[in-house]
A and B are shown apart, each in its own frame.
Chain A
């Protein structure tokens, strides 16, 4: 890292560069980089075959299917309703709007364990919401979807909202003047402008859902092969002192998360270019 961070600028009159950067790099290395590399180094101690078997065992595959599937669906639901909520918050006046706007961030602020027990109680068969539903939600894969929808809710709203606020009214007026219907204006003018932000929000919600643990374990029921998410499987393996097995699965999830991080950065760069135009 130190080699990458050599100063290469004209001399600055400000002091403290070496100290500040040195401390930041040291802290970053000790808290984040060295511990994370431990996960990768641990997997090098086992053979490729052992690694492959650990990450493709049927129970593990079932957990990927649930985790990725529910995360994708939850992000999709948040894509649709996040866009709707952002639209309503930006475009329409209604009583209590500022309160609603502030509460959208609740899933960021509410501890996941609290969200988990609250959602479980509500969506249980005798719960306030669950009793009106014809199917079981708590303690089934559907419960996982509910929890992941909750924790991903703010992402799409908060990425789409500022873009919608900055959208030039003139473009819509021009479209209307040229004879476009409101629906045509939305699909051909507004929606394309929101697309980069929408995709960024979707990917953020998806990435967040993949790693979620706290809210899901209460509501999922945690049945192996059915409603067991990958994060829980990692913990189960740890509790059985199967450290290599746990780490192997963790590395798969880490690599996925890094790929998604890269994708999010690319999407945001794209969004900035679109907005800057």
Chain B
């Protein structure tokens, strides 16, 4: 486990680095860098560390990502297209979209409400509330599905009542939506809360003094101030909502064409040895992940900038 030590110990044997600063002309030409030699590593060590990092990332990130797309087209574009327009795949896509379209706005409303209360007011138990909001992140997805089975499943608290009224939650769409809401619960709130806390309440108070109503304050002052963080949270929330596997798997019942989401559809295809089709559907979700990463990357700096602006005001 000591890739670093052996690389760096030898640095001591390198030419006395403290001299390099006085005589930059003698610095190795292969290292055109702003890092002063006294606090940097020699070029060969740098190259070694970069290579090691890239090798690790290749084995665990880059190659798997490329593999998804290569395997998807392994049997040609015809098989690829057929896998995507298959009736079961389309109904899985539809259910995935439904789950996200319900879960994301609900968690968005919750995020704004929770952030408004936490950031703009003082009350007892605020820290407990903050911890509880993050709780779903530390619950295993499988357990997230299990708890809804315990409540709405046939043996659960409301199982008999639901059956008597001919309602189905577990092994049906409502269960999938509930499980999706649970696993994506904290995403938007945890982006908004720190930002709104940093921004304080002066602007809202000024708007209030000038006669703005609560709704006007929210629409014209608060939400414009946090729009990038909000979008950032929505994007992360949506990615997870569309990709969730474990929790949805527990409550879905795996009825083809009825209660299968895209990730579950991938599992079925894969277990039936339809590898090209499985990877074709997977490539859709991988493309979604890439779009998410691009948007995330673009928004990240704006969110950071507004956080710093809020903190300095």
Q: Output the nearest chain A residue to B149 by Cβ-Cβ distance.
A: A238
Q: How many residues of A contact B (CB 8 A)?
A: 102
Contact B53 A84 (CB under 8 A): yes
A35 within 8 A of B: yes
Shortest CB-to-CB span from A74 to chain B, Å, is 10
Q: Output the nearest chain B residue to A109 by Cβ-Cβ distance.
A: B289
Shortest CB-to-CB span from B207 to chain A, Å, is 9
B86 within 8 A of A: no
Contact B263 A114 (CB under 8 A): yes
Q: Of B53, B64, B201, B239, which contacts A85 at CB under 8 A?
A: B53
Contact A173 B39 (CB under 8 A): yes
Interface-side segment among B44-52, B75-83, B224-232: B44-52
Shortest CB-to-CB span from A32 to chain B, Å, is 6
Consensus secondary structure, chain A interface: helix
Q: Of B138, B150, B243, B275, which contacts A114 at CB under 8 A?
A: B243
Shortest CB-to-CB span from B69 to chain A, Å, is 10
Produce 1/0 per residue, A251-277, CB < 8 A to B: 001100110110001000000000000
Q: A13-B209, A84-B53, A112-B246 are contacts. A231–B140 as well, Cβ < 8 Å?
A: yes
Q: Which residues in B have their C-beta under 8 angstroms from that of A107?
A: 61
Q: Output the nearest chain B residue to A94 by Cβ-Cβ distance.
A: B50
Produce 1/0 per residue, A5-18, CB < 8 A to B: 11111001111110
A167 to B250, CA, bound (A): 45
A218 to B129, CA, bound (A): 37
Q: A31-B181, A103-B293 are contacts. A13–B60 as well, Cβ < 8 Å?
A: no
Q: Of B61, B182, B263, which contacts A31 at CB under 8 A?
A: B182
A177 to B16, CA, bound (A): 12
Q: A13-B209, A38-B151, A253-B140 are contacts. A87–B131 as well, Cβ < 8 Å?
A: no
A273 to B267, CA, bound (A): 45
Q: Of A6, A36, A118, which contacts B68 at CB under 8 A?
A: A118
Interface-side segment among B5-13, B22-30, B160-168, B305-313: B5-13
Q: Which residues in A have their C-beta under 8 angstroms from that of B285?
A: 110-111, 113-114
Q: Of A35, A113, A261, which contacts B147 at CB under 8 A?
A: A35
Of listed B138, B157, B285, residue having the most chain A CB within 10 A: B138
Contact B286 A176 (CB under 8 A): no
A182 to B5, CA, bound (A): 11
A87 to B142, CA, bound (A): 35
Shortest CB-to-CB span from B153 to chain A, Å, is 8
Shortest CB-to-CB span from A72 to chain B, Å, is 13
Q: Which residues in A have their C-beta under 8 angstroms from that of B146?
A: 39, 234, 238, 246-247, 250
Q: Which residues in B have their C-beta under 8 angstroms from that of A83?
A: 4
Contact B141 A214 (CB under 8 A): yes
B116 within 8 A of A: yes
Contact B53 A21 (CB under 8 A): no
A57 within 8 A of B: no
Q: Which residues in A have their C-beta under 8 angstroms from that of B293?
A: 102-103, 105-106, 109
Contact B131 A104 (CB under 8 A): no
Contact B68 A181 (CB under 8 A): no
Contact B9 A5 (CB under 8 A): no
Produce 1/0 per residue, B192-215, CB < 8 A to A: 000000000100110011000110
A144 to B39, CA, bound (A): 39
Of listed A85, A111, A118, residue having the most chain B CB within 10 A: A111
Shortest CB-to-CB span from A220 to chain B, Å, is 14
A15 to B121, CA, bound (A): 10
Within B92-148, which residues are at the interface with A (CB < 8 Å)?
Answer: 106, 109-110, 112-114, 116-117, 120-125, 128-129, 131-136, 138-143, 146-148
Within A230-252, which residues are at the interface with B (CB < 8 Å)?
Answer: 231-232, 234-235, 238, 241, 243, 246-247, 250
Contact B123 A5 (CB under 8 A): yes
Contact B294 A102 (CB under 8 A): yes
Q: Output the nearest chain B residue to A147 by Cβ-Cβ distance.
A: B60
Q: Of A12, A169, A234, A246, which contacts B120 at CB under 8 A?
A: A12
Contact A80 B67 (CB under 8 A): no
A250 to B150, CA, bound (A): 12
Shortest CB-to-CB span from A20 to chain B, Å, is 4
Within A74-94, which residues are at the interface with B (CB < 8 Å)?
Answer: 76, 80-81, 83-85, 87-88, 91-94
Q: A9-B123, A39-B143 are contacts. A84–B185 as well, Cβ < 8 Å?
A: no
Q: A122-B64, A258-B138 are contacts. A106–B50 as well, Cβ < 8 Å?
A: no
Contact B63 A129 (CB under 8 A): yes
Of listed A6, A153, A181, residue having the most chain B CB within 10 A: A181
CB-defined A-B contacts under 8 Å, sample of 30:
A12-B120, A20-B117, A21-B117, A21-B121, A31-B182, A39-B143, A39-B147, A80-B1, A80-B4, A100-B54, A103-B62, A108-B236, A109-B239, A113-B267, A113-B282, A114-B263, A117-B68, A117-B270, A117-B282, A118-B64, A121-B275, A122-B67, A128-B63, A153-B61, A183-B5, A211-B139, A213-B142, A214-B249, A254-B143, A261-B138
